[in-house]
Amino acid sequence: PDSCQTLCDCLETVKTVKCVDRNLTAVPPDLPPYVRNLFITGNPLARLPAGAFPAQRLPDLSALNLSGNHLRAVEAGALAALPALRQLDLSGNPLVSLSPQAFGEGGSPLEELALRGALRDHGVLLSLAAMLQSGTLRNLSRLELADNGLLLLPAGMFTALPALRELDLSNNSLVGLRNVSFQGLGQLQSLDLSDNSLSVLRNGTLAQFRSLPALRHIGLGRNAWVCDCAIEDLVAWLKESDQVEGKEALTCAYPDKMLGKALLKINSSDLNCSVPIDLPSQLQTSYVFLGIVLALIGAIFLLVLYLNRKGIKKWMHNIRDACRDHMEGYHYRYEINADPRLTNLSSNSDV
């Protein structure tokens, strides 16, 4: 106890130890075994190596807060010796390495994982996806990935989380969800997609939302919705669904003529979708039409030639005769110039 009080605030009555702003570079090795809630925050803790928490020394530790340190690496086996761990907070750490085996080879009892602002490195995001897909965290019920600047999510990232109830993806830069699968999340109740860069939600994503029986709270606020013909499916879903919180406040960001218009008040006439927006199909139709026009012009030209064949033949004969007379005149002059006698005769013809 004396050693614990030197490095941390140890409160046995509430089973809590707080090591806040103590300039720690490693996890204290002699933490009391009674601890259930451990806070190690605001320290220059750079790495969490294998065996950072001594095996069987913390059998009751259920909540571990490591936020706001300088953690850059969580190595394989770093969190393997915590059999009762239910909550883990790694938010606010500049992670560049996160081992998919951080919880060991077997499964983990972890239920809540917070990584707010800790996934700025793309490699760490891929490592987290590998960890989730491995099934190590099958008991996870809450996952917080907010404030990470995420543009796209790895395909199939959430497919091995059957117990997940809350998923927070807010305050990122997500531009689409086409490669994201929510299938298998039968327990999902809350999905926060607010404060992103979503411009539209496609029919495949909307169909997944409809298929999740427990999903009752979807946050879509403060996204850059583009109100063109592609948004018709989203508007129709919003009008019929009761899953979206604050859907009345969702407004168009583009184009300028639709800026600020509520999505729920959009009609087909506002979008002017009578003309197909499939550009390749339009180009193909235009090429076919141009071919038909050219063929018709060619047929008309041939028909005109056929109907005027006699006149054309007479015109060609006239041209031939004129050319022949012209050439005979040149030939006559050539003969005169070639014969000296005719040349002298021509020169004395006025005498």
What would the DSSP string read from start to end of 272-315? T-SS---HHHHHHHHHHHHHHHHHHHHHHHHHHHHHTHHHHHHH
Q: What is the residue-averaged pLDDT of the chain?
A: 88
Strands 16-20 and 9-11: antiparallel
The helix/strand/coil state of 321 is helix
What's the predicted TM-score (pTM) here?
A: 0.76
- Host H or E run for residue 9: strand 9-11
- Per-residue pLDDT tens over the stretch 49-108: 998 988 778 999 999 999 999 999 999 999 998 999 999 999 999 999 999 999 988 889
In angstroms, what CA-CA distances link 278 with 58, 223, 252, 283? Answer: 61, 25, 22, 9
b/e sequence 18-38, b meaning 16+ C-beta within 10 Å = bbeebebeebbeebbebbbbb
**Number of neighbours of residue 92 by Cβ within 10 angstroms:** 19
- Identify the pLDDT of residue 20: 95
Q: Among the listed ranges 181-195, 217-231, 270-284, 319-333, which one has the minimum average pLDDT value?
A: 270-284
For the packed helices 232-240 and 203-211, what is the interaxial angle rounded to 10 degrees?
20
**Ramachandran quadrant class, 183 (left: phi over 0; alpha: psi -120 to 50; beta: rest):** beta
Integer Cα distance of 125 and 179 in angstroms: 15
Q: Is the peptide bond before 255 cis (omega within 30 degrees of 0)?
A: yes
User: Cα–Cα distances in Å, from 266 out to 86, 210, 260?
Assistant: 45, 21, 11
pLDDT, average across residues 133-147 = 96
What share of the chain in percent tops pLDDT 70?
88
Q: Can you tell me whether residue 88 is helix, strand or coil? A: strand
Kindly report the three-state secondary structure assignment for every residue of 144-210.
ECCCCCCCCCCCCCCCCCCCCCEEECCCCCCCCCCCCCCCCCCCCCEEECCCCCCCCCCHHHHHHHH
Phi and psi at 244, nearest 5°, equal: -90, 125
Task: Give the pair of three-digit tokens for residue 231.
Answer: 């948004």
pLDDT(135) > 80: yes
The proportion of the chain whose per-residue pLDDT surpasses 90, expressed as a percent, equals 68
The confidence band for 344, taking pLDDT boundaries of 50, 70 and 90, is low
25-29, 36-40, 65-69: lowest mean pLDDT where? 25-29
pLDDT at 327 over 90: no
Q: Is the pLDDT of residue 338 over 70?
A: no
Q: Specify whether the CB–CB gap between 7 and 19 falls below 8 A.
A: yes
Across the range 317-322, mean pLDDT stands at 77
- Judged against a pLDDT cut of 70, whether residue 284 lies above it is answered with no
pLDDT at 134 over 50: yes
Residue 223's contacts (CB-CB under 8 Å, 6 or more residues apart) are: 193, 194, 195, 196, 197, 198, 199, 250, 253
pLDDT digits (tens, 9 = 90+) for 229-242: 999 999 999 999 99
Q: Which residues are registered as beta bridge partners of 98?
A: 74
Distance, first Cα to last Cα, the chain: 150
